Amino acid sequence: MEHSPRKRRIANYLAKRRLMWVYRGIKACCMYDDNAKRYCNAMGDCTIRIRILPDVTGIVIRVRDGATHLLRQDELLVHADLDICFKNLAGAMPVLRGKKTVKEAYAEKRIVIRGDISKVMMINNIIRITLAYVLTDPNARKLYGEPGNVPRAKIINAMIVGDGK
């Protein structure tokens, strides 16, 4: 279905906000959750670009010394070690809303990946841990399993009041 440019702009804006929200979760989990921290350490020093095509909406994350940093918007256009692209918004939104896992999106071939697949698995596991903390409904438990042993309030607090960078 064709949407007007204005609707597309709004949808892109919402997707971008969702993506930033998920990033804040990733950052908080990498700070406090042991499992997420372990995956983050294992990723070494690399840049990860998560994009939604074709409008180049996305974020670039720098992983270094077991911590994540958000890079500037213009870094979207330069090289990244790991590039995870959703083919379109329809494929990305269910993942960003927590209705589908990254695995399911990949299974539906909504994603193309450039870079080391084992690192994709690590970032996938971090996103799964993050959404297990953030989402509370029974369906999310089925999708993401139980959250780790860090109090959920601590993670959500870090997401809200943290600098998000």
Q: Which residues in 102-111 are b (16+ Cβ under 10 Å) and which e?
A: beebbeeebb
Over the window 61 to 90, marking each residue x when it contacts other proteins by CB under 8 A and - when it does not, the resulting string is ----------------------x-------
Site for other proteins, residues 33 to 52, rule: CB under 8 A? 42
Among 12, 14, 115, 148, binds other proteins (CB under 8 A): 115
71 SS3 class: coil
Q: Of the two residues 20 and 113, which places its CB atom closer to other proteins in the complex?
A: 113
Q: Of the two residues 98 and 158, which places its CB atom closer to other proteins in the complex?
A: 98
Q: Which residues in 122-156 are b (16+ Cβ under 10 Å) and which e?
A: bbbbbbbbbbbbbbeeeebeebbeebbebeeeebe
What residue ranges bind other proteins (CB under 8 A)?
42, 83, 103-104, 106-118, 120-122, 124-125, 128, 144-145
